[in-house]
Every structure is written in C-alpha cells, then in structure tokens.
A and B are shown apart, each in its own frame.
Chain A
C-alpha cells in the first residue's frame, strides 16, 4: 500500500465505526426508499400505460395530464407539496393517516412513487405503441381476446423494448432519492450531511458518499445488463 494512504488511514478520525454505521443506516434507508417507490411505481404504471393507449380521450386524457404534470415539474417541488401539504389538510391529524404521514419517510415515498410512476407510464406507453402490428394481427388471428393479447403478446414484447429506458429511470430515481435528505430523512446523503457538519470535512464526507452511490449505480447497471441479455436472448448473434 502506498505510504500516503497508510499515513492517511493513521490520522483518520472521521471514518470510525460510529460514522460507518451511520452511513450504513443511510444506505439502508436509501435502498428501501428507492426500491419501494420503484416497485409500487411499476405496479401503478402498467395499468396506467394501458389506459394511456386507449383511444377514448376521457380515459387517456387524465393519465396524460397526470404524467405531464409530474414530468414537467421538479421532483423537489412535488416532495415539498406532499411533505408540507399533507400536514395542512383539514382534520388529517385526527385520522390514522397522520400516524403514517407524520414520519417524513412516507410523504417522501409517496412523492417518489408518483414521480417514477409518471415516467414509467410514459416509457411503457412508448413500448406498447411501438408493438409491431403484425404481432397483434397474429394474436387476433389466433382468436386471442384483448386480455390475453395484452398478457401474452403486447406486454412481454413491450418489456423487451422498454427495459433499456427503464434502467435509466431506475438510476435516475436512485440519484433523485438524494433529495430525501432535505425533509430530514437520514438517507445516504443525509448521513453525509450530518457527518460533514460534525467534522467540517466536506471532502471526506461527500466523496465517500459519492463512492457509495457509484457502487449502487454500477450494481444496478450490471443487474440491468444481465436482465437485458436475458430478455433479448433471441436477438443474440449465433456463435457468441
């Protein structure tokens, strides 16, 4: 090991077990927040995307409006509106909802979920719309009804076309989750901010957390590459 690293480790007062545990706690919160919002967002987005492709404007219109609003405004504002706004709703403090939304975690989860659902809806819609016509015609010729066509033909083929854009959205979400620290959640960034203010050591605190985020990002990129290879197996050239 080079001398300067050994020397730096000797003089290291910041990365003690205590602060490492704080970073670990932040990592757990970040992963929970991102994972939950992505999963719920995806579950919400699939039916919304199907509704968005319906010809009737009274059905597809509201979905378009929702995605337009949530994609056209910054996530930070959405978070502020939900975090500060929920507490201001008349009478919410007497209902059981208050027990849930009193914690900052749940308003943040709601904001992130709504945001990612909007982007995911558009990604899936794009993939559904670009389904080759022949596939649908073939399914019709086989006598499949609408539901079976969706389940067996349109959605699986849309998943193949959407997975690349969706992996970008997942990484975007991981990065966007850093703003959870603004509403007093101690996620990775929140932990870094606490440690920065305790030691007044911006480089150590933030570069370390940047490395942790990079680790998470590259793990996600790797996982999605595996998934893409799996989904697009049929397109792989022979002998490779």
Chain B
C-alpha cells in the first residue's frame, strides 16, 4: 500500500480544495459566459465592444500572469480602498485578499471568456425559426430566452462546456503557486521535506487523471 508518510489527510484536504475551487470557478465562468455571449449577440455596440475586448484580453494573457496580478494587485487594491474609506468616512473596513478568492476570480474570468465563445456559437446554432415561432406565440423576450433559447442552446454548448471543464480542472493546479494549500502545494511541500518527488507527485497526477477521466463519463 502507498505510504504517504503522514501527509495523507493533508493531501485529501488539498484535493477537496481543488474540487471546491473548480466548481466555484465553473459557476463564475458559466455566469460570465452567459453574460458575455448575450452581450456579444446584442445590438448594443457598447456591450458588444466590451465583450469583445474582454475575450480578446483574456486570450492574450497567460493564466498565471492574470492570477499573480489579481493576487498581488488585489491586496494592494483592497488596502488602497480601505485607506480611502477610512480617510473619507472613518469606517474601519478591511479584508484579507486570500489566494482562494483570487483563484476563483481569475479562473472564473479566464474560463468566462472561453465560455462566452462556446455560448455564442451555441446561441447562433439555435434556428431562427424557433425564435420567430416563439415571437408568433406572443412570448416576451425573457420568456423566449428562458423557454426556447436556453434549453436548445445547452444541447449545442454541452461539448464545449465539457472541454472547458477539463482544461479548467487542470488550471486549478496553478493556485498552488500563489500559496493556496491545494493538492499540488501539499505534494510539493511533502516532496521537498521527504526528498521523494515521485512518491508524492505521481499519486497527485493520478488524482487529476481520475478527475478528468471521471468527468468524461458525465459529459
């Protein structure tokens, strides 16, 4: 049996952190993706421009750089904000910008951009006849969106969401770099302390493999 030298529980906790992070970021990404896709398909030029700028920006910058920017920059921004609030309103307001929040925000933002593209394609794949029929039945815009567009769009979007999820899962490993004690971080510390890199990294690699292979079954 695999002897984890007492790091077993810590690794398990790390795995839970990884999964929590992945699901929360997925929720953020899907929300942003829906908003982004709606903005890209709308007639409003400002919304269209903002969504295009968002997706272009995200696709041009590495995820790690974004994460470092949000993590280090986020704390500085919070400090500046709390200073400002203290000086003008004399209200004591402060919170620590922790790696978990910056991880969720960054991964959510990055995959929100990819989801935007996925959903945009899926919305375009819904036949216009369906929308016209809904309008002929006197559906309101919101009603059309909820009853006609969303269910039919999801069918087209599902493969794309699955792909994005697989990539997202692997991207969560990056949060160990900004100091969140996820699986990779625990394995790294254990490997350094015990001088046994293969012993700790290979099981963690297999957990990721199991997660990606397991989610393949659901998609």
Contacts and interface: CB of A to CB of B under 8 A. Distances in A.
Given A76-B184, A80-B191, A202-B69, A178 B209 contact: no
A218 interface: yes
Interface string A194-232: 001000001100110110011001100000000000000
Interface in B24-78: 57, 59-66, 68-69, 72-73, 76
Nearest to B170: A74
Nearest to B66: A210
Contacts of B62: 174-178, 189, 213
B173 A74 contact: yes
B61 A77 contact: no
Contact of A81 (B60, B201, B209): B201
Given A77-B184, A178-B62, A203 B69 contact: yes
A127 interface: no
Interface string B157-169: 0000000000000
Given A72-B208, A73-B208, A206-B73, A81 B202 contact: yes
Contacts of B63: 175, 178
Given A72-B208, A77-B184, A178-B64, A85 B198 contact: yes
Interface in A65-100: 68-69, 72-78, 80-81, 84-85, 88
Given A77-B205, A81-B197, A84-B201, A209 B64 contact: no
Contacts of A69: 205, 209
A179 interface: yes
Interface centre among B64, B184, B195, B213 (most CB of A within 10 A): B64
B197 A85 contact: yes
Contacts of B76: 202-203
B198 A189 contact: no
B174 interface: yes
A192 interface: yes
Contacts of A175: 61-64
Given A176-B62, A213-B65, A72 B72 contact: no
B65 A189 contact: yes
A59 interface: no
A77 B201 contact: yes
Interface string B169-190: 0111110110000001001100
B186 to A, nearest CB: 12
Contacts of A85: 197-198, 201
B12 interface: no
A85 B171 CA distance: 22
A20 interface: no
A149 interface: no
A231 B198 CA distance: 44
A69 B212 CA distance: 11
A77 B69 contact: no
Interface in B119-141: none
Contact of A88 (B61, B173, B177, B198): B198
Nearest to A214: B60
A171 interface: yes
Contacts of B188: 80
Interface string B199-219: 001101100110011000000
A192 B68 contact: yes
Contacts of A196: 68, 72
Kindly list the 5 A-B residue pairs having the minimum CB-CB distance in the complex, ordered from nearest. Answer: A214-B60, A84-B197, A74-B173, A202-B72, A175-B62
Given A68-B209, A74-B208, A209-B65, 17 more contacts: A69-B205, A74-B172, A74-B173, A74-B205, A76-B184, A77-B173, A77-B187, A81-B202, A84-B197, A85-B198, A85-B201, A202-B73, A210-B61, A210-B66, A210-B69, A214-B57, A217-B60
